């Protein structure tokens, strides 16, 4: 994918659609059809609010399905995400991304191909991380080959030092992993996050990722993946090439609450001329 032309801006703001628990997950309603209807209705409503508020793209994630499968999710999860993504696609012409937690890039790519989405997020694309799901390993070799087989121009947005995880490598290796992710893993964009959902990225860590990109002579975009607020977005976009925003766009600043179009508009306005 071509990053800037996909989003229509050099510094996109991508808003999150955090799906409620899908049928088959522990926190879903007992009535599976009701659970699916609730997820689809929320996804469509959140997509409308994000579009109305002025974001440049939307990412869909099965956030309510905790505890997450570490890698391959069962077919009912793929079906649920696909149905919700179809509902989002019907509400907006914005670029759409798919993230299937915790790390099922094959499922995300398959959903993206089915609904015409533009990118996927892969939490661990190269290397390995210790997570609450155990050790999660990147499968860049499989992901990129599947994309070729499917014949789709879907961007791979890969995390570096992904939130809710810790490295297996020696201290100080995190920034170097940017080169592995972008140069050897062929990621189309790299996402730098804080330690958890809604947590701000460390300024020094973000600067180190960008510096590593420059040292290797790469032009892979770097996005901030968590903790972006109206107060910080302009400064972050002075360093990064875009941001994925969820919690700050929800009613009351609660991650699982519906998207608030007014909060979206406030964030977009705060980004101002930086974009």
Query: What is the SS3 assignment for 263?
Result: helix
Provide the 8-state DSSP code for 23: T
User: What mean pLDDT value characterizes the chain?
Assistant: 93
Sign of the CA dihedral with 58 first, then 115, 241, and 7 last: negative
Question: Per-residue pLDDT tens for 128-182?
Answer: 888 888 899 999 999 999 999 999 999 999 998 777 878 776 665 554 478 889 9
Question: Per-residue pLDDT tens for 112-141?
Answer: 999 999 999 999 999 888 888 889 999 999
CA neighbor of 274 nearest in space, from 7, 12, 4, 3: 12
Give the predicted TM-score (pTM) of the model.
0.94
% of residues, the chain, pLDDT over 90: 81
- Residues 237 and 275: their CA atoms lie apart, in Å, by 8
The domain ranges of the chain are: 11-272
**Angle subtended by helix axes 75-91 and 32-53, to nearest 10:** 40
Asked if pLDDT for residue 238 goes beyond 60, the answer is: yes
What's the maximum distance between 2 C-alpha atoms anywhere in the chain?
A: 54
- Residues 199 and 206: their CA atoms lie apart, in Å, by 13
Domain at 11-272: CATH architecture: Alpha-Beta Barrel (3.20)
Q: What is the pLDDT of residue 164?
A: 81
Contact between residue 60 and residue 77 where contact means Cβ atoms under 8 Å apart: no
């Amino acid at each position: 994918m071509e990053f800037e032309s996909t989003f229509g801006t050099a510094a996109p703001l991508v808003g999150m659609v955090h799906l409620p628990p899908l049928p088959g997950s522990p926190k879903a309603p007992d009535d599976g059809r009701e659970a699916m209807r609730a997820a689809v209705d929320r996804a469509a409503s959140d997509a409308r609010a994000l579009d109305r508020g002025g974001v440049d793209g939307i990412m869909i994630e099965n956030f309510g399905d905790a505890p997450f499968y570490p890698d391959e999710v069962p077919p009912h999860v793929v079906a649920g995400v696909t149905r919700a993504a179809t509902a989002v696609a019907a509400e907006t012409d914005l670029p759409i991304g798919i993230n299937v937690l915790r790390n099922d890039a094959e499922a995300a790519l398959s959903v993206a191909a089915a609904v015409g989405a533009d990118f996927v997020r892969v939490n661990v694309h190269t290397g390995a991380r210790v997570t609450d799901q155990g050790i999660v390993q990147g499968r860049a070799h499989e992901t990129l080959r599947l994309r070729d087989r499917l014949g789709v121009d879907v961007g791979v947005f890969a995390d570096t030092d992904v939130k809710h995880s810790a490295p297996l490598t020696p201290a100080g290796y995190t920034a170097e992993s940017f080169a592995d992710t972008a140069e050897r893993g062929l990621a189309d964009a790299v996402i730098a996050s804080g330690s958890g959902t809604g947590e701000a990225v460390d300024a020094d860590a973000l600067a180190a990722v960008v510096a590593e990109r420059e040292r290797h002579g790469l032009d892979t975009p770097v996005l901030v993946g968590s903790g972006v607020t109206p107060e910080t977005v302009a400064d972050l976009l002075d360093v990064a090439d875009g941001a994925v925003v969820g919690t700050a766009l929800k009613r009351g600043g609660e991650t699982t609450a519906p998207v608030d179009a007014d909060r979206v508009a406030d964030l977009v306005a705060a980004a101002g001329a930086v974009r």
